[in-house]
Each structure stands twice: as C-alpha cells, then as structure tokens.
Copies of this chain bind each other. A is one copy, B any other.
Amino acid sequence: MRNLKITLQYDGTDFVGWQRQDAGVSIQGLLEDALVPIEGSAVVVHGAGRTDAGVHALAQVATFGLRGAIDPATLTRALNGVLPPAVRVTAAEEVDPGFHARFSATGKVYEYRVVNAPFVSPFLHKYTWHVPAPLDLDAMRHASRLLVGTRDFEAFQGTGSSVASTTRTVDSLDWEGGVGCDVPTVMRIAGNGFLRHMVRNIAGTLVDLGSGRWQASDLAAILDSRDRAKAGRTAPARGLFLVRVLY
C-alpha cells in the first residue's frame, strides 16, 4: 500500500467541517468520494485537523493509502477535476508508510481574522468576524503574551469536550492590525496542539479585552480559573483559517 499526502485549501462556508457526518457535505467526505473512482474501492482519508463547520483552510494536510499506481501530479489534477471549486488540492506527494497527517504533526498555525471597522467589505464577510467598535490592539498584544508557553487551557476549551489533558503549548500569538473594511486585523497563533474551539475562544476573549471589557490581569484570572464560563465569546467560525500544519 502506498501512502499519499495531499495539501488542501478550502472555503469552509458551505461545509459541515472536515469530518464526514451523517448529514451535510464535509471535506473528508468529498475527498473520500472523489477517491473511489480513482482507486476502484473505498479509501479512508485522515486529516491533520478536524476543522469545524464554516472554518477555512489555507493548507490542511491529509494522508491516505492507495494500491493504484497513479502519480501525485495526475492525482492532484484528477481530484481537482471532481472536487467543487471551494476545495482545491494544492500539492500531492508519496510519503513514507509511517507518516500520518494527524499523528505525525508537531504543531499547527491558525489565523483568526477580524474586520475592525464600521462595515465589512462584501468580499470579506464570509472570511472575517465583524467587530465595529474600536479595538485596543496594544492591550490585546500585551495580554496575548500571557497565553504563550505551556499552559492549562481548560478555560478556553469548548464545552462538551473530554480530552486526557487540557495542557497545550502555544509557541507564538501575535496580532497584526488591519485598515478599514478591506484589510483584516489578524491574530496568528502557533502551537503544538489546540483544544476544541480553543483558537476561537482565545480570539473572542482577546477581542472582548480589546473592547475594554477586561484587563490583562482578568485574562490571567480566566486562565487560572480553568472555567470556560469565565472566558469570553467563541468567535464565529468564518474568521478562522488553518494556515499550516508543522511536521
């Protein structure tokens, strides 16, 4: 069995997320369905990260086994020929049998995009969160530093999750200021792994802080509380992009 690795971009707007589900169109489902005629039998596709409904990807990574001899360039063209325009395979290669999109990943980079202006450009409204009130970006940058390092992020975990440990390492967390309705303000976060809704909960909490609701000391107390109810809003899915998977 050959092991294939593909890199994907997708506009998550109209999908139920990465993972195949009973109802709705998923990225995993689209890929698995597209691979059936290529392989001649069912193929299971493993993604690096299970992006939620409405979340976008600039470079999601997936792996799957193939018995067929199709070369990676032909595979890319074949998949792009049947996938909807909202999903594109940007690269494909054959990798070592032990490589796994999810378990081999050493980290991920996400961006959360906010339009901090009175209105949002029509070309960005599906790809950003609209926050009309002015944000104190310096305060958000200053507070962001509290979240860098190895921390227990339980306060930023979506409710209903159960994982063995809620400790994760955030390697970097920065904000780049945007201008007007056309250029988003972007939070970029890199880490070794993320809890369910963690990036959106961090973005929502830091936006609340930047709106004057909280100080950095409040953020420290939220982190220490390990209580989701203490943190801020879950920022909407449409502003979140999986930017890169690190191996």
Report which A residues bind B (CB closer than 8 A).
9-11, 56, 77, 80, 85-90, 118-123, 125, 127, 181
Contacts and interface: CB of A to CB of B under 8 A. Distances in A.
Nearest to A84: B122
Contacts of A11: 122-123
A114 to B, nearest CB: 15
Nearest to A121: B9
The interface centre, meaning the residue of A77, A122, A125 with most chain B CB atoms within 10 A of its CB, is A122
Nearest to A125: B85
5 contacts: A9-B122, A11-B122, A56-B122, A85-B120, A88-B121
A77 B118 CA distance: 9
Nearest to A8: B122
A148 B203 CA distance: 49
B88 A181 contact: yes
A85 B121 CA distance: 8
A171 to B, nearest CB: 25
B80 A119 contact: yes
Given A122-B11, A122-B85, A181 B127 contact: no
Contact of A119 (B90, B119, B120, B181): B90
Contacts of A123: 9, 11, 56, 127
A123 B119 CA distance: 20
Contacts of A127: 123
A113 to B, nearest CB: 12
Nearest to A57: B122
B9 A88 contact: no
Contacts of A90: 119, 181
A122 B88 CA distance: 7
Contacts of A86: 122, 125
Ranked nearest first, the 6 interchain pairs of A and B with the lowest CB-CB distance are: A11-B122, A85-B125, A86-B122, A88-B119, A80-B119, A9-B122
A98 to B, nearest CB: 29
Given A85-B122, A86-B122, 12 more contacts: A9-B122, A11-B122, A11-B123, A56-B123, A77-B118, A85-B120, A86-B125, A88-B120, A88-B121, A89-B119, A90-B119, A90-B181
